[in-house]
Amino acid sequence: MERIYIYLENGTFLEADSFGASGTSVGEIVFNTSLTGYQEITTDPSYAGQFITFTMPEIGNVGVNQADNESKIAYSKGVIVRAYNEAYSNFRGERSFAELLKEQGVLGICNIDTRFLTKMIRDEGAMMMIASTLISDKEELKKVLENSPRIEDINYINEVSTKEAYIHKHGAWNHSIMDYNKAMMQEKKVVVLDFGVKRNILNELVEAGLEVEVIPNTFKADDLIARFEAG
């Protein structure tokens, strides 16, 4: 593992190991207390522009697969874990968590005190940070961070929203067939305006017996009304 260097806007400077993509990323650090679902969390569009600190110490044990991603690509900037396990064991696992991060350009930070970070975020609130496998100097990291836009200055909605309207064609996970249910023809329809919707929310709407059309965030109100008038 290569080393990765972290600088937070409150002046905290840390070193850790990298297990994801290489490079430099700036984003907001937050924490997540879920015990499972690291793949779904990392690919959740609502984490766009953020570094996710997992309070669950062991991450990577079950690997990842293509079917469980919550979006087509990962919009998070990085993940921070206490201990990463490259060797995974699960009958649905297709590859390691690290492989997903590298493919998606997401930094992976491990062998770091996540309890310390979580308590800091709890006490001081979410804050901006920079992490890099290329820059090791604290002052240089600070300079790059100070010259980078803050998360509230970036329109991530345009980035995560679908660019074209589409019909969602999967329902909930079905253990009997070990796959997601297929959407059936329905009389009732719902239109979802995509501001970063998770795939599983769409799955549940389909499972509830609705035809689900997902439209871009730039959709005009008149066009939206016309969708329903057309039946």
Residue-wise pLDDT for 173-230, tens only, equals 887 777 788 888 777 889 999 999 999 999 999 999 999 999 999 988 888 888 777 6
**How far, in Å, are 58, 71, 209 from residue 76 at the CA level?**
19, 11, 32
User: SS in 3 state form for the chain?
Assistant: CCEEEEEECCCCEEEEEECCCCCEEEEEEEEECCCCCHHHHHCCHHHCCEEEEECCCEECCCCECCCCCCCCCCCCCEEECCEECCCCCCCCCCECHHHHHHHHCCEEEECCCHHHHHHHHHHHCCEEEEEECCCCCHHHHHHHHHCCCCHHHCCHHHHHCCCCCEEECEEEEECCCCEEEECCCCCCEEEEECCCCCHHHHHHHHHCCCEEEEECCCCCHHHHHHHHHCC
125-172 confidence digits (pLDDT tens)? 999 999 999 999 999 999 999 999 999 999 999 999 999 999 999 988
Name the domain boundary from 129, 153, 177. 153
pLDDT at 231 over 70: no
CA dist 15 and 8 (Å) reads 12
- Give yes or no: residues 85 and 104 share one domain: yes
What would the mean pLDDT of 26-50 be, rounded to a whole number? 97
pLDDT band at 44 (very low <50, low <70, confident <90, very high): very high
Kindly state whether residues 22 and 131 are assigned to the same domain: yes
Kindly state whether residues 101 and 28 are assigned to the same domain: yes
For the question of whether the overall pTM of this predicted structure is more than 0.85, the answer is yes
Are residues 21 and 85 both part of a single domain? Answer: yes
- If asked whether residues 116 and 11 sit together in one domain, one would say yes
168 and 142 in one domain?
Answer: no
Domain termination residue (choose one: 153, 170, 185): 153
When divided into structural domains, the chain yields a total of: 2
Among 153, 171, 196, identify where a domain stops. 153
Output the pLDDT for position 167. 93
- Co-location of 122 and 187 in the same domain: no
For residue 72 the two structure tokens come to 């087509």
Whether residues 204 and 128 fall in one domain: no
Looking at the structure, tell me whether residues 131 and 192 fall in a common domain: no
Range of the domain at 23: 3-153
79 forms beta bridges with 52, 108
pLDDT in tens, 45-82: 999 999 999 999 999 999 999 999 999 999 999 999 99
pLDDT computed for residue 230 by the predictor: 66
Partners of 213 in the β-ladder: 167, 191
- Tell me, yes or no, whether 124 and 190 share the same domain: no
Which pLDDT score, from 0 to 100, does residue 59 have? Answer: 98
Residues 177 and 147 in one domain: no
Q: Are residues 135 and 167 in the same domain?
A: no
Q: Residue 55: give its domain's CATH number.
A: 3.50.30.20
Position 113 scores a pLDDT of: 98
Task: State residue 187's pLDDT score.
Answer: 79
